Chains A and B, each alone.
Chain A
Amino acid sequence: MKMLRSLLPLTLAAAFGVATAAAAPKGGKLNLFGWSEYVPQAVIDGFTAETGVKVNYETYASGEEMLAKLLAGGGSYDLIQPPDYIAEALIKGGLLTPVDQAKLPHFGNLMPEYLNMPHDPEQKFTVPFMVGTVGIVVNTEKVTTPVTSYAELFSAANKNRIVVLDDGRELVTAALYTQGKDLNAMTAENIAGTRPVLAAWFKLIKLFDSDSPKTALLNGDVDLGLVWCGEAAILHNEDKKFRYVLPKEGAHLFIDLLAIPKDARNVDNAHLFIDYLLRPEVSKLVSDEFPYTNPNAAARKLLTPEQLANPASYPVTDRKLDTFRHIGDSGAAIDELITDLKNAN
């Protein structure tokens, strides 16, 4: 074993020496950590052509994944795309670099209703990228009765015909809405109080899927869903029989943001890229690819009437919409409840 000890530092040095030598030179690049395709390739190519900044794009499939890697100390990124409540957590944890609006000439394109929101009240750390809701999608060919609320979605007649997001917080939120409670009041009692509601719902659900709930709907394996509006918008574009409804009781509104991590190395390039994304013609390209709600007023003017008429992207509604706040460690209680309920089935 002695020899092992003497060899260990040597191997370490060899393995890591190679790695550091291989690290790319600084300057002229931007490390972006975002959803694949959320920033279309054409946008990245356009940015590189104009500024000469090389964009390295690393992807994740959910905001939580991104946070997990950041918290474990992974990577050094210049720009990330967190959803609002995760950005709030990052701000509280002191993990973001302030965004300098003076470097963003196109910032004024953003609609004021999406600025200074509770997650970043002074609009110091984030820039809105895309906005969306969570609502009900209905295959109107198969479901003839109107579905306008969570209660109607989770009715006994729909047993085994429902797909929902595999996301504990979204489900508890829906249950809280039916009980008339505040969706951010995630106290232990409130979470426990949703148990009977969710237990009844879980018996009706055919599958849980956060990544691509549209698949089961398109396949005809289910006829109703509680999904991200972007999924519903894609379904609606594919076939007009899919209709998106914001539930009567209220719905979750989310904002995906752009933010610069604290240890970013290319802060100036990050600003350049944010401003590039705020240009109307660039923002339109994102909307073409991702049919979420575009918070950029100038970009909206460029969208086709058809895009603006998609009820999932641009719902005309007087429904109550609320955003998620950072809820600390209540996440653990939610996860425990959901695990327990799935286990009971």
Chain B
Amino acid sequence: MQALPAADAENPHARRATPMGWWLLAPMLIWLALFVVAPLLILVVYSFCSRDDLGRVVFDFTWTNYARVFDETYLKILARSVGYAALTTVICVAAGFPAGWYIARRPPAVRDRLLLLVMIPFWTSFLIRTYAWIAILKSEGLLNATLLAARVVPQPLELLYTPVAVVIGLVYAYLPFMILPVYGSAEKLDNALVEAAHDLGAGPLRAFSEVIIPLTWPGIAAGVLLVFVPAIGMFAITDLMGGAKVAMIGNVIQNQVFKARNLPFAAALGVVFTLLFVASYLALQWRGRRARA
């Protein structure tokens, strides 16, 4: 099993691409070239520029932006962002996998609707949702009131504007992106497989860990990708629920554009960030292939 979905070498029946295959793929390739590669190139060019007094980009050649990226401060921030994203991903797997699996096991008419119900909360404005969380987590909020009334805690918990609040916010924002792909791959499994495992004497836990999880692994891997990757660059939740006390890489880049008006440095951060991602992605795929070989 590999860690991330891979394009090639996955389907043993895949054929060498015919000219027709290339033609069909062309629209997506053009899209990628225009709206992903071209902006990336712009970014690379800008990252070697400097800024003028006003904040406009001056086209010269300098390495200073890159030298600054590898400053201890920014490396620490990057490490912290990865840490938060990883914790978020782990919680999302733990919470979202069983839910995705369970929804996939419902009768077809129920499933699609349950799926829709997973996403509907996120069609409301992010800011309004976040303010609802603030109302829940604040010191005189719903959660503390409930806990106090139930005598679970002797005094209100300090939750809001702490790292705990940030993680709650991140999990809330990304949980659906774990549930949906897990659902996508769990739905195609045959119940008979699970029952067979049971008939062969596997207890529910063993059936779960030895049959269900391996069979839905592509869905989990996709979910990990969809949660972990965007979570690293998240900034609004750290600002609103964490009190903007701890900088994350997303906040740093944001501030470079809006506050410091240093687009070249933001570009350098963006380039390094993207390269780090590409490198780790390719490394994981390479390991996955080796593991299979």
Residues of A at the B interface (CB closer than 8 Å) are 3-4, 7-8, 11-12, 62, 64-65, 67-68, 71-72, 89-90, 92-93, 166-168, 205-209, 215-216, 219-221, 326, 328-329, 331-332, 334-336, 339-340, 342-343, 345
Contact = CB atoms under 8 A, between A and B. Distances in A.
B271 interface: no
A11 B33 CA distance: 11
A8 B30 contact: yes
Contact of B259 (A167, A207, A216, A329): A167
Contacts of A11: 30, 34
B55 interface: yes
A343 B263 contact: no
A92 B53 contact: yes
B29 interface: yes
Interface in B224-266: 239-240, 243-247, 252, 255-263, 265
Nearest to A169: B259
A168 B259 contact: yes
A68 B138 contact: no
B152 interface: no
Interface in B150-170: 160-161
A337 B135 CA distance: 32
B34 A64 contact: no
Contacts of B135: 219
B122 interface: no
Q: Which 4 A-B pairs have the closest CB atoms?
A: A207-B243, A335-B260, A208-B244, A328-B53
Given A11-B34, A339-B73, A71 B259 contact: no
18 contacts: A8-B34, A68-B257, A68-B258, A71-B263, A89-B55, A206-B161, A208-B245, A219-B134, A220-B139, A326-B53, A326-B54, A328-B53, A331-B55, A331-B260, A336-B260, A342-B247, A343-B73, A345-B246
B77 interface: yes
B24 to A, nearest CB: 12
B123 interface: no
Nearest to B30: A11
B28 to A, nearest CB: 11
A219 B261 contact: no
Contacts of A3: 22-23, 26
A186 to B, nearest CB: 13
A206 B73 contact: no
B131 interface: yes
A335 B259 contact: yes
B56 interface: yes
Contacts of B55: 67-68, 71, 89, 331
A62 B73 CA distance: 26
B161 A221 contact: yes
Contact of A4 (B33, B244, B263): B33
B54 A71 contact: yes
B77 A343 contact: yes
Given A3-B23, A8-B34, A220-B139, A343 B255 contact: no
A4 B29 contact: yes
B161 A219 contact: no
Contacts of A206: 161, 243
A207 B258 contact: no
A334 B240 CA distance: 22
B243 A340 contact: no
B54 A93 contact: yes
Nearest to A333: B260
Given A71-B261, A207-B161, A220-B138, 20 more contacts: A3-B22, A7-B26, A8-B30, A8-B33, A64-B259, A72-B263, A89-B53, A89-B54, A207-B244, A209-B240, A215-B134, A219-B140, A331-B260, A336-B260, A339-B73, A339-B252, A342-B246, A342-B247, A343-B246, A345-B245
A68 B252 CA distance: 15
Contacts of A64: 258-259, 261
